Every structure is written in C-alpha cells, then in structure tokens.
Amino acid sequence: MNIKCAFCQTPYTLSRIQMIDALQKMDAEKLTHYDAHCPRCRRSTRVERKRVEMFFPNWREALKQLEAEMQAHPQPEASSAVESRPDAAKQKEPKKAKPQSAPKPAAKKTEKTKSAAKKK
C-alpha cells in the first residue's frame, strides 16, 4: 500500500510482509495505528489499522501461509527479522524442535542404587 511521509512528503510503499508485520503487531498490542518509517527522513508516519486492514483483508491467512513457508524453508533473513521483535519470536517458536523420546535409564539406575545403598 502507498504511504506519504507526513514530514517530507516522500511517497513510499508498504510491502505485503510489512503490512502483515504491522497488522500482527497492532493485533498483539491492541493498537489502532502503525508507525511506518519513511525511507528518506526516517520519521514515522501513522497509518491507521483500518486502512491497512482494508487494503489487506485476508492478512491472517497470508500470515499462516507465510509461517508455513518459513517453517518449510527457513531463511536467514526471516529469522533476523523475527529477532528484532522478541514478542513475535516467542509466538513463532516451534513447540517441538526435536522429538527426543529415547529415555536414559542409566541416570535413574544410579539414583536408585544410591538410595537403596543408603537404606539401612
């Protein structure tokens, strides 16, 4: 979507990713606007949430697709983008990194023998 800087009048655009990111943030923090940053003067211009939602009504679906894609093909750029937003990183953290179901009976055995040995 197109935005015009409120300070220097530079027109710039928000990409789909930026819109998703903005909507996600606004949704999580219950905000009614997003601060878009001007590429020229770096000052922030407020963009109303309604406007972004109108421009990108199916963003939740797009977000799901994006997350599925990112899980299937992890990219270094994507992870660094997440890094800058710790709250998002928490949500995106995979619940099962590695299924480690192999138990180690050795540790428990020593514990048992210890307590058994202590027993008088």
How far is 19 from 6, CA to CA, in rounded Å? Answer: 18
Q: Among 1, 31, 41, 70, which residue sits at the site for Zn ion (rule: CB under 5 A)?
A: 41
Q: Does 54 bind Zn ion (CB under 5 A)?
A: no
User: Which structure tokens are listed for 83?
Assistant: 């890094």
Q: Does 46 bind Zn ion (CB under 5 A)?
A: no
Name the pairing type of β-strands 44-48 and 33-37: antiparallel
Nearer to Zn ion, 11 or 57 (CB): 11
**Which residue type occupies 119?**
K
Residues that bind Zn ion (rule: CB under 5 A) add up to a total of 7
List the beta bridge partners of residue 22: none
Which x/- pattern, by CB under 5 A, does the window 9-38 give for Zn ion? -x---------------------------x
Q: Are 36 and 48 in contact (CB under 8 A)?
A: no
Q: Does 5 bind Zn ion (CB under 5 A)?
A: yes
Q: Does 3 bind Zn ion (CB under 5 A)?
A: no
CB of 11 to Zn ion, least distance (A): 10
